[in-house]
Amino acid sequence: MKTNLTISGENFLMNGKLVYSEIEGSNPRMHGLLMNARLIQGIFDDKADATRFNRFGMTFDPEENTDALIAALPEWYKYGLRAFTVGLQGGGPCFTVPNGEIINNPFSPDGLHIDEAYLARLTRLLNAADELGMAVIVSALYCGQIRHLDGAQAVINAIRTTANWLRDGGWKHIIFEPANEYDIHLFKDYPIVMEHQSMVGLLDLARRESGLPVGCSGGGGTLNAEVARASDVILFHGNGQPRHAMANLIANARKWAPGKPIVCNEDSQAITNLQVCMDHHVSWGYYNGLTKQEMATNWGVLKGEDLFFALRIAENVGIPCESLAADEQYMLIGISKNECWDGKCWPRIASLYPETINYVDFYVDGTWLYRSYDDPFSLYYIANWIQGPLKRTEGLLRAEITLANGNKLVREGCIGE
């Protein structure tokens, strides 16, 4: 194994060096952080009907999906991404197919066995990250798929089985997360996961059986003192949180469990929150449900939100990379043919510096629809990680961007082209 992830106080080290310190001329304030992305569907399958994910101009195959992610990792690494989260039970999709219709579950009902095909894909992915020098947050359970486990003992078995497999693999670049957003109501039928005190027990089990650092995320904007103290890495999700709420979460984590690294391993496309985390020496996790969680997905650094996030990491770390002209720093996305599904699309304005935007007005064929005030400036904004759909597949969509300095920009395109 090439990559050994260790922890020293609030910092991460890889092979004995603070992360990013190996980059000549890098920003010392970034040293020891793990800037990351939620690539949760890296080993995804759907045993109910995988053919439904032949869409967005792509075909879906579980083996090709994992291999495509592996092929994309060097590009992400180039910009400074040093970790990602992948799930045994995946995540979402949150915009299209209900998770209750999907069977993306590798565990036997008693939790004692894991589907070998899933383990083979995860092995390839972990080995690729190890070779590259990236850490992986391996998340075991997801609220939308835990229904396939037969009760509390099966949950314990699934955590132990996963932990033992990870231990036997000999990897040293992994953070083990027993469950994604353990405290949300969708776990209500599994109190052994949902209750804080029982999660402390699952964290102890995961650490003891795997020999790896552990942590567990709650729902967007939640942290629990007992879980934080029981974690080696304090994981939290920033979904739906404005910037100062993020700062308050971080302050609470440090008050409850001082001297531990803090990692937001899921937030949104709202890269304004990235700055909050960097200001407080906390690692931030990019989450784009539309480009990186709806299957089939293109795992590369796509123009728009993906690229803007990547460039912000590189800029702050001090990694030389391409520069964008002023007119390339604001982009209308979500309306092309391959971004539409079932008569719906999800328009939004992506920006390299969303802090420069005051608000965005959306029009279709000259008729005003909506004003969006917050990053990521989506049409029919619900929260920073989710938006309502525009139920159209044709027409001219126009976005008028009013900048904080009062200047205006226009971005427009034809829906479905």
Residues 213 and 187 in one domain: yes
- Radius of gyration, CA atoms only, the chain: 21
Residues 176 and 313 in one domain: yes
From first CA to last CA, the distance across the chain in angstroms is: 46
Domain that holds residue 24: 5-317
* Residue that terminates a domain, selected from 317, 342, 367: 317
pLDDT for position 364: 98
Residues 85 and 57 in one domain: yes
Residues 78 and 151 in one domain: yes
Residues 349 and 260 in one domain: no
CA gap 156, 287 in Å, rounded? 28
Residues 229 and 371 in one domain: no
Cβ atoms < 10 Å from Cβ of 198: 17
| Strand ranges for 272-334 from DSSP E | 285-286, 330-333
How distant is the alpha carbon of residue 327 from its chain centre?
Answer: 28
Give how many domains the chain has, as a whole number: 2
CATH number at residue 89: 3.20.20.80
Q: In what order do the strands lie in the sheet with 396-403?
A: 367-372, 357-364, 396-403, 408-414
pLDDT for position 6: 98
Residues 311 and 334 in one domain: no
Residues 330 and 236 in one domain: no
* Residue that terminates a domain, selected from 257, 292, 317: 317
CA gap 180, 260 in Å, rounded? 20
Residues 35 and 140 in one domain: yes
Residues 277 and 391 in one domain: no
Residues 281 and 337 in one domain: no
* Residue that terminates a domain, selected from 317, 340, 361: 317
CA gap 192, 199 in Å, rounded? 7
CA gap 308, 330 in Å, rounded? 9
pLDDT per 10-residue tile (average), the chain, 417 residues: 97 98 97 98 98 97 98 98 98 94 98 98 98 98 98 98 98 98 97 98 98 98 97 97 96 98 97 95 98 97 97 97 95 97 97 98 98 97 97 96 98 97
CATH number at residue 382: 2.60.40
Residues 288 and 361 in one domain: no
